[in-house]
A and B are shown apart, each in its own frame.
Chain A
Amino acid sequence: MTTTPHAHDLGMPGTPIDARIQQAIADSVDSQGEKQTALKAKDMKTDQEVRWCPGCGDYVILNAVQSFLPSLGIAREDMVIVSGIGCSSRFPYYMNTYGMHSIHGRAPAIATGLAASRPDLSVWVVTGDGDALSIGGNHLIHALRRNVNMTILLFNNRIYGLTKGQYSPTSEVGKVTKSTPMGSLDHPFNPVSLAIGADATFVGRAMDSDRKGLTEVLRQAAEHQGTALVEIYQNCNIFNDGAFDLLKDPATGTQWTIPLVHGEPLVFGPDGASCVVRGDFGGLRIAETNQVDASEIVVHDATREDPSYAFALSRLSSQDLRYTPMGVFRSVRKPAYDRMMLDQLEEARTQGAGDLDALLAGNDTWTVSA
């Protein structure tokens, strides 16, 4: 799909902000020169030593994000990355932007306060499957339904890495880990289904190692007005190595990956042998392309207001990752929370900016004379 970014969609300077903050920004420009928006990947790096395990999928995601962000044309100081707790949440330390490495699960809440009070900023959340879906599940769904302008990158490695290898809310049933020696019992979340269930306005999925696909989903997510959720399959080579090999292996990847391209028929597999057609009860199902009429093949439409289709898409994949759609599931326009909040402030001010003396006096006063 094509979208035209608007100034406030990206969270750009120019959105009205409070005078004191505006002044601080102006002062910094006076002392250090104009904001730099022509940036390169190296400008996004910090002097901090990256401390993920060698070979961790987080490295490739970091590189992809560092290469991609300059293309937005936003100054580094206008970007903020907020994270929770977990391996992926170390991300802000490696990005030469503003950042907060917060507490477990709460990044969406913290970012909500920041984005709602500073609509001029480009706000990013970096989180993981444990952080976002277990301890922070409540904040995630509420951020999604509220549609505050921010982009949430959910690194899903289907394991707890930082605490050394317990099963996570996205681990497949029967996962044998330190805390589940006889196999895990609980059914995993599908993060995309969960996000669509929460009425997220933008939901995408990408693979850590697929630089091109990841960058494309990131681009669309960044341009989206409101909360965007991007699930990134990320390999934890220490505790859950090869979790996504079925999709990464060239031999099986094409067979089990359903690339989502807005406006294109959902045909996939070697030689386009498989396709997605409408199933029973409003669902979707996989068919062999040569067994169905071309008109039966679903043409992907990420902009459908009704989330049922995107949800049905998300349900095609199984726990073992066969038939996994990758790309943008859903991208619909709805007013962003921060924008509406700003509108309410402006509307309230149309009846005059607040007069503190009048407020303090209230409606009923009496005077005691000397």
Chain B
Amino acid sequence: MTALEPSTTPGSSAPGGLVKSVVELDRVVIRLAGDSGDGMQLTGNRFTSETASFGNDLSTLPNFPAEIRAPTGTLPGVSSFQLHFADHDIMTPGDAPDVLVAMNPAALKANLADLPGGGLVIVDSDEFTPRNLAKVGYATNPLEDGSLEAWQVVSVGLTSMTLEALKDSGLGKKEAERSKNMFTLGLLSWMYHRPTEGTVRFLERQFRRKPEIAAANIAAFRAGYNYGDTTEAFAVSYEVKPAPMAPGRYRNISGNQALALGLVAAGQRSGLPVFLGAYPITPASDILHELSRHKAFGVRTFQAEDEIAGIGAALGASFGGALGVTTTSGPGVSLKSEALGLAVMTELPLVVVDVQRGGPSTGLPTKTEQSDLLQAMFGRNGEAPLPVIAPRSPGDCFDAALEAARIALKYRTPVMLLSDGYLANGAEPWPVPVADELPDLHVEFATEPNGAAADGTPEFLPYLRDPETLARPWAVPGTSGMQHRIGGLEKADKSGNISYDPANHDLMTRLRQAKVDGIAADIPATDVDDPTGSARVAVIGWGSTYGPIGAACRQIRNSGREVAQIHLRHVNPMPADLGEVLGRYDRVVCPEMNMGQLALLLRAKYLVDVQSHTQVRGLPFRAAELAAVVQDVIDSVDPTTQTPTATTPNSGGTQ
């Protein structure tokens, strides 16, 4: 199932004298697929939690349709969840599954092509009825017609066994059937030696108001586990040892969750109340949901009438001294553009979260893409620069949110935080930070006049800048003697009064730009991973491509070649040394889930002949494909390196 030769050991002896063997693996990619109504996301999340608490490194890729319930049993209704877990550090949810669990014919049909030959397929045979087969255009039953010969197929009556297990539960057939996902989870938990207590606790908590449903789900879960333990259908179970991780306390976290917690933490570390103005939109809504649960931290959440009101209210709250935040996805950013311009002009702190999805227009609401970069950079009228920050992994969404808030508060500017659908819904183990060790985001409000009128009386100049940061003072309503008016019309330097003076507009335009550009001095140097320091080709990326690019680089290095990985967290301004860093390499490759937006910026800014590699399939890059692209570039630079110069044992852990 992996690059490693499995070592088989005789294993537990199940009741009835059945001898089962245990195969040790270094990593597994498993994909659970079913109908939208089958609870595959929940099952996947639970399996992930079990895996996380077992101590494997992991990475997940949920993939679901935009429709809440497409017609049952049809191809558009298929929802899937892919989990990659390993006994070593991994960076992606895996290029292709080793195991596919298909809850119905549609799930099989939609996913089989991704499963390499020899892979394991577990299907719910009860669902392979003539009617269901016909719905997805199977003329004959693939379980019987030999078309699945290339794979190992285990056909199990998941539904009927669930019903059998729950026959005394008092639940009706329809309701009992719903627990088949927990039966499946139980079976998988047995197959992969996952700890089960967490799931039992979870079910008790989740259904605490419906104890009979909790009991049924737990019963189905246990039945699935016991079935695995006793049946002859599964003679082998698999063990993936915990991954060595830095000591500390961990939890499993998704990108949206981490981002929301980062915003709560930003409020706590700045001492400012967080105000979220948001309108529901996929895939960002979970941030609104999460933040609305944290009122005890003084977090105010406002579900606005539209995207514009969401950002407007957040900006109004910022004027009042809050950390204003608005969360959305690409189409929402389009609507917020005008208010973003106002935030640039009024120079108030504001965090704008764009959880990018496939575009343009409504596009692919539930699929990932990185195509809002240029919108974030330039999608406003006039010269309206603002900082852009992108997290690189689900857990990194936490730090990126803190960093966005830090810059917004310190420089009094809207900051665009570019997450994406893959980070938002994907999950990974996350070392739990200690609150007191998080960055201090404290900023001062202005409470005293900073200037004097012609007659000498003290007055407040709202656009008199801090000479170092070029930030303007933040005086909040309620502070005496500091009354001032701001707005979207051009401001006179220092006084902030309306000014149509040509020289002043030129000055203010340059000041706003200089303020954002100056942040480059306040961010870390370029993040370069070039282990030998002698690579001639660099791969540069931003945002969620970090994982696949990193995995591709590992594969290349494992084959004995050299490559550098450059990752940008601060996309605007870019690190001060980036131009110099890029200049060190003969070739720079830039893979993006768009049509080459970062490449365009790099070419424009640094006059570097960046080679853009793009893909917009709504899914993350596959590491192996990226590795092949980069290898071609390495070969083109120096054909002599085509022969590996060093051999590193291939650990298989290259993703």
Residues of A within 8 A of B (CB): 13, 17-21, 24-25, 27-29, 31-33, 35-36, 46, 48, 75-80, 82-83, 85, 92-93, 95-104, 106, 109-118, 120-121, 138-139, 142, 341, 344-345, 347-349, 351-354, 356-357, 359-370
B481 lies within 8 A of A77 (CB): yes
Contact A366 B249 (CB under 8 A): yes
Q: CB within 8 A of A114: which of B265, B317, B475?
A: B317
CA distance A33 to B277 in the complex (A): 35
Contact A77 B477 (CB under 8 A): yes
| Chain A residues whose CB sits within 8 angstroms of the CB of B314 once the complex forms | 113
Are B294 and A359 in contact, CB atoms less than 8 angstroms apart? yes
The verdict on B227 contacting chain A, using a C-beta distance below 8 Å, is no
Residues from chain A with Cβ under 8 Å of B272 in the complex: 18, 20
Contact in complex: B321, A366 (CB < 8 Å)? no
Residue B456 interfacial (CB < 8 Å): no
Whether the pair B478, A24 counts as a contact (CB closer than 8 A) is yes
At the interface, yes or no: B55 with Cβ under 8 Å from chain A?
Answer: yes
Mask of B521-542 contacts with A, CB within 8 angstroms, 1/0:
0000000000000000000000
Q: Which of A18, A79, A360 has the most CB of B within 10 A?
A: A360
19 more A-B residue pairs beyond the given contacts A85-B488, A106-B309, with a C-beta to C-beta distance below 8 A: A18-B272, A24-B447, A24-B475, A27-B445, A32-B481, A97-B483, A98-B483, A100-B486, A102-B488, A106-B338, A106-B339, A109-B312, A109-B316, A114-B317, A116-B302, A116-B313, A121-B478, A354-B297, A367-B250
Number of A-B residue pairs, CB cutoff 8 Å, is 257
- Give CA–CA (A357, B297) in the complex, Å: 12
Within 8 Å CB of A79, what residues of B?
A: 477
B247 interfacial by beta-carbon distance below 8 Å? yes
Q: Which of B29-74 contact A (CB under 8 A)?
A: 49, 52-53, 55
Residues of B near A33 (CB, < 8 A) are 480
Given contacts A121-B477, A142-B305, contact A368 B247 (CB under 8 A): yes
A364 touches B478 (CB 8 A): no
In the complex, what residue of chain A is closest to B304 when comparing beta carbons? A109
> Which residue of chain A has its CB nearest to the CB of B479?
A28
Residues on B with beta carbons closer than 8 Å to the beta carbon of A103: 338-339, 341-342, 488
With A114-B316, A118-B320, A356-B264 known as contacts, the answer to whether A101 contacts B309 (CB < 8 A) is no
Establish whether residues A13 and B277, one from each chain, have CB atoms under 8 Å apart when the complex forms: no
- By a beta-carbon cutoff of 8 Å, the part of chain B in contact with chain A is 49, 52-53, 55, 198, 205, 242, 245-253, 261, 264-265, 268, 271-273, 275, 277, 294-298, 300, 302, 304-306, 308-309, 312-317, 319-322, 324, 338-339, 341-342, 346, 432-435, 445, 447-449, 475-489, 497-498
**CB <8 Å contact, A139 and B478:** no
What residues on A are CB-neighbors of B435 within 8 Å? 356-357, 360
From the candidates B265, B298, B484, name the one contacting A360 in the complex (CB within 8 A). B265
Q: Which of A77, A117, A347, A357 has the most CB of B within 10 A?
A: A117
25 sample A-B contacts, Cβ–Cβ < 8 Å, listed by A number: A13-B478, A20-B321, A24-B479, A28-B479, A28-B480, A32-B480, A79-B477, A99-B483, A102-B342, A104-B338, A106-B309, A112-B312, A116-B275, A117-B275, A117-B321, A118-B321, A345-B300, A356-B297, A357-B434, A360-B435, A364-B198, A364-B251, A365-B432, A368-B247, A368-B248
Please indicate which of the listed interface residues A20, A46, A92 has the most CB atoms of chain B within 10 Å of its own CB.
Answer: A20
Q: Identify A48's interface contact among B294, B476, B497, CB under 8 A.
A: B497
Q: Chain B residues near A27: list those with CB within 8 A.
A: 445, 447-448, 479
User: Complex formed: what's the CA distance from A58 to B253 in Å?
Assistant: 56
Q: In the complex, A253 Cα to B313 Cα: how many Å?
A: 41
In the assembled complex, the CB of B132 is this many whole angstroms from the nearest CB of chain A, namely 36
* Residues of chain B contacted by A359 (CB below 8 angstroms): 261, 264, 294, 297
Q: Which among B247, B264, B433, B445 has the highest number of chain A CB atoms within 10 Å?
A: B445
Q: Contact between A117 and B300 (Cβ–Cβ < 8 Å)?
A: yes
Residues of B contacting A366 with CB < 8 Å? 52-53, 55, 249-251
Complex Cα distance, B342 from A239, in Å, reads 29
The docked-state distance in angstroms from the alpha carbon of A102 to that of B317 is 13
Chain B residue contacts of A32, Cβ below 8 A: 448-449, 480-481
B480 contacts A101, C-beta separation under 8 Å: no
Contact between chains at A31 and B302 (CB < 8 Å)? no
Q: Which residues of B contact A82 (CB under 8 A)?
A: 316
Is B484 within 8 A of A98, CB to CB?
yes
CB <8 Å contact, A77 and B480: yes
With A356-B264, A368-B247 as known contacts, state yes or no: A99 contacts B486, CB within 8 Å. Answer: yes
Most-contacted residue by chain A among B52, B319, B432 (CB, 10 A)? B319
Closest to B314 in A: A113
Task: Judge whether B320 and A117 touch: CB under 8 Å.
Answer: yes
What 3 pairs across the A-B complex have the smallest Cβ distances? A113-B313, A101-B487, A113-B316
Nearest chain B CB to A358 CB, angstrom units: 9
* Inter-chain contact A25/B249, CB cutoff 8 Å: no
**A269 shortest CB reach to chain B, Å:** 41
Q: Which of A82, A109, A348 has the most CB of B within 10 A?
A: A109
Chain B proximity of A130: nearest CB distance (Å)? 16
| CB < 8 Å neighbour of B251 from A13, A93, A362 | A362
Choose among B294, B486, B487 the residue with the greatest number of A CB atoms under 10 Å from its CB. Answer: B487
Q: Which residues of B contact A106 (CB under 8 A)?
A: 308-309, 312, 338-339
CA distance A245 to B277 in the complex (A): 43
Given A20-B272, A101-B488, decide whether A25 and B480 contact each other with a Cβ distance below 8 A: yes
Report the Cα distance A236→B322, complex, angstroms.
38
Chain A residues, Cβ within 8 Å of B322 = 18, 117
A117 and B479 contacting across the interface, CB-CB below 8 Å: no
CB-CB under 8 A for A354 and B247, given A21-B478, A114-B319:
no
Q: Smallest CB–CB gap between B60 and chain A, Å?
A: 15
Contact of A112 with B309 in the complex, beta carbons under 8 Å: yes
| A97 partner residues in chain B, CB cutoff 8 A | 483
Q: How far is the CB of A172 from chain B (nearest CB, A)?
A: 29
State whether A344 and B339 are in contact (beta carbons under 8 Å apart), knowing that A18-B273, A106-B308, A362-B251 are contacts in the complex: no
- Docked Cα-Cα span, A341 to B338, in Å, equals 28
Q: Tell me the bound Cα distance from A299 to B392 in angstroms.
A: 67
Given that A24-B447, A101-B489, A367-B250 are contacting pairs, would A351 and B480 also be in contact in the complex, using a CB cutoff of 8 Å? Answer: no
**Which one of B304, B312, B319 has the greatest number of beta carbons of chain A within 10 Å?**
B312
B246's closest neighbor in chain A, by CB? A368
CB distance from B120 to the nearest CB of A (A): 28
Interface pair A77/B483, CB less than 8 Å apart? yes
Q: A32-B481, A359-B297 are in contact. Are A100 and B346 (CB under 8 A)?
A: yes
A368 to B479, CA, bound (A): 49
| Chain B residues, CB < 8 A from A370 | 247
A36 and B294 CA atoms in complex are apart in Å by 37
Residue of A nearest to B53 (CB): A366
CA distance A299 to B277 in the complex (A): 43
Kindly report which residue of chain B lies nearest to residue A79, judged by CB atoms: B477
A65 to B213, CA, bound (A): 63
Say whether A344 contacts B315, CB under 8 Å.
Answer: no
Q: How far is the CB of A84 from chain B (nearest CB, A)?
A: 10
Contact A98 B53 (CB under 8 A): no
Whether B264 lies near A112 (C-beta < 8 A) is no
Q: Which listed residue, A17, A19, A112, touches B302 by the CB 8 Å rule?
A: A112
CB neighbours of A367 from chain B (8 A): 247-250
Assess whether A138 is in contact with B296, with CB atoms less than 8 Å apart: no
Bound complex: CA A356 to CA B262 (Å): 10
Contact between A28 and B481, CB atoms less than 8 A apart:
yes
Q: How far is the CA of A263 from the CA of B1 in the complex (A)?
A: 85
- Contact, CB under 8 Å: B478 / A77: yes
With A110-B316, A138-B306 given, is the CB distance from A29 to B487 under 8 Å?
Answer: no
Question: Could you say which of A28, A85, A354, A362 contacts B296, with CB atoms under 8 Å apart?
Answer: A354
